């Protein structure tokens, strides 16, 4: 790990993730009907009450919870907490009707409007970017088999130390973040480097929960993508590498067998082939 990364903190990545959420996602949350808010809030509270009664939760435990919830806010870790322990179920429900590609959680580190690189190119990276070079080829089609020329593939991922640009300090703004546009045959070719497994920040509220519960903080190495084409549902997914220690016990429960890559060794690093099948929008 380089010296510059030693200053990466939970409060740093947490507050960036909180600001990102506020600027990108808040527009979509207004207008939930009163009846629905009442139903969902009541059921969640009833589940909490049930746990308290079943396990005879004490005042000491109640106050530990209060103090922990306060610290989640203070370290800006609500996006991290929710995306690790809750989002995977929301994603399952939102995409259960799909016939095309499986998706998975977005996580807290997506940034829109990454630099556009055409159909073939490299993601922006440092001159001495560490990590095994990856050349990834693929094609975007519709569930009916139609080739989706002009489909957009947005890619973002951690570096070979497990850090994301714009959320850990000292990394160029768009490092390992880019958008590609599929050619007339729906094809693209991306050059990047293999990311490292990602560790949930251990010095904040999420880290405290993990250590207090005796869990581990790891997500397996993954490439994040958003794939979009006019008239089709947006696909948000992550791709994983076989053999990772945490493919079977991802802290964020976001691994699916359909999202596993099959890298092949090449003269310069590794090659992967993975394409996407998008579902037409439902009318
Ligand atoms: C979190 C981080 C990720 O990189 C990811 O893919 C999912 C969740 C998190 O820290 O919450
Ligand atoms: Fe991630």
| pLDDT tens digits, one per residue of 28-42 | 777 889 999 999 999
- With the most atoms of ligand 1 within 8 angstroms of its CB, the residue from 103, 111, 219 to mutate is 219
Q: Kindly give, in sequence order, each residue whose CB lies less than 8 Å from that of residue 53, ignoring residues fewer than 6 positions away.
A: none
Query: Coil, helix or strand for 204?
Result: coil
Please give the pLDDT value at position 23: 86
Per-residue pLDDT, averaged over 202-224, amounts to: 96
* pLDDT for residue 20 is more than 50: yes
Per-residue pLDDT, averaged over 248-265, amounts to: 98
CB atoms within 10 A of CB 17: 23
Asked if residue 92 is part of any domain, the answer here is: yes
Per-residue pLDDT, averaged over 210-234, amounts to: 98
Tell me, what DSSP letter sits at residue 123?
Answer: P
* Full residue range of the structural domain in which residue 253 is found: 5-30+77-278
Mean pLDDT of the chain: 94
* pLDDT for residue 246 is more than 60: yes
Q: What is the largest CA-CA distance in the chain?
A: 64
Report H helices in the chain.
10-24, 34-55, 59-74, 78-85, 87-95, 205-213
Contact 137, 119 (CB under 8 A): no
Per-residue pLDDT, averaged over 243-254, amounts to: 97
Please give the pLDDT value at position 25: 79
Give the whole-angstrom CA distance, residue 128 versus residue 4. 15
Q: Is the CB of 210 under 6 A from ligand 1?
A: no
pLDDT tens string 133-175: 999 999 999 999 999 999 999 999 999 999 999 999 999 999 9
Asked if residue 104 is part of any domain, the answer here is: yes
Per-residue pLDDT, averaged over 11-20, amounts to: 83
pLDDT tens string 60-94: 999 999 999 999 999 999 999 999 999 999 999 99
Contact 136, 190 (CB under 8 A): yes
Nearest alpha carbon, ligand 1 atom 2:
107
Please give the pLDDT value at position 283: 81
Q: What percent of the chain has pLDDT over 70?
A: 98
Per-residue pLDDT, averaged over 268-275, amounts to: 97
Which pairing describes strands 187-193 and 264-266: parallel, antiparallel, or unpaired? unpaired
Å from CA of 254 to ligand 2 middle: 10
Query: Coil, helix or strand for 168?
Result: coil
Contact 127, 243 (CB under 8 A): no
Please give the pLDDT value at position 227: 98
pLDDT tens string 87-119: 999 999 999 999 999 999 999 999 999 999 999
pTM listed for this prediction? 0.94
Asked if residue 46 is part of any domain, the answer here is: no
Asked if residue 179 is part of any domain, the answer here is: yes
Nearest alpha carbon, ligand 1 atom 7:
107
Q: Is the CB of 207 under 6 A from ligand 1?
A: no
**Domain holding 122: CATH number?**
2.60.130.10
Asked if residue 38 is part of any domain, the answer here is: no
Å from CA of 158 to ligand 2 middle: 7
The per-residue DSSP string of 38-82 comes to HHHHHHHHHHHHHHHHHHT--HHHHHHHHHHHHHHHHTT-HHHHH
Please give the pLDDT value at position 34: 95
Q: What percent of the chain has pLDDT over 90?
A: 87
Residue 7 pLDDT grade (very low, low, confident, very high; cuts 50, 70, 90): low
* pLDDT for residue 217 is more than 80: yes
Domain count, the chain: 1
Asked if residue 283 is part of any domain, the answer here is: no
Asked if residue 57 is part of any domain, the answer here is: no
* pLDDT for residue 252 is more than 90: yes
* pLDDT for residue 265 is more than 70: yes
Asked if residue 63 is part of any domain, the answer here is: no
Return the closest-CA partner of residue 176 out of 195, 197, 202, 201.
195
Please give the pLDDT value at position 4: 44
């Amino acid at each position: 790990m380089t010296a510059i990364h030693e200053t990466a903190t939970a409060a740093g990545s947490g507050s960036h993730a909180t600001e990102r959420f506020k600027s990108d996602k808040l527009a979509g949350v207004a207008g939930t009907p009163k009846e629905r808010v009442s139903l969902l809030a009541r059921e969640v509270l009833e589940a909490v009450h049930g746990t308290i009664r079943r396990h005879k939760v004490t005042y000491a435990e109640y106050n530990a919870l209060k103090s922990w919830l306060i610290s989640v806010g203070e370290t800006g870790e609500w996006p991290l907490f929710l995306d690790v322990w809750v989002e995977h179920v929301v994603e399952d429900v939102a995409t259960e009707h799909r016939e095309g590609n499986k998706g998975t959680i977005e996580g807290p580190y997506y940034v829109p409007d990454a630099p556009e690189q055409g159909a073939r190119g490299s993601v922006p990276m440092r001159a001495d970017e560490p990590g095994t070079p990856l050349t990834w080829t693929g094609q975007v089609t519709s569930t009916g088999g139609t080739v989706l020329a002009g489909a957009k593939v947005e890619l973002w991922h951690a570096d070979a130390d497990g850090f994301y640009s714009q959320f850990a300090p000292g990394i160029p703004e768009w490092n390992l973040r880019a958008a590609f546009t599929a050619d007339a045959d729906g094809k693209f070719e991306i050059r990047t480097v293999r990311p490292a497994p990602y560790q949930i920040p251990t010095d904040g509220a999420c880290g405290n929960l993990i250590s207090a519960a005796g869990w581990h903080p790891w997500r397996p190495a993954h490439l994040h993508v958003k794939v979009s084409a006019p008239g089709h549902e947006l696909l948000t997914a992550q791709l994983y590498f076989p053999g990772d220690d945490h493919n079977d016990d991802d802290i964020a429960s976001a691994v699916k067998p359909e999202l596993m890559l099959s890298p092949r060794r090449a003269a310069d690093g590794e090659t992967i082939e993975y394409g996407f099948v998008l579902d037409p929008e439902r009318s």
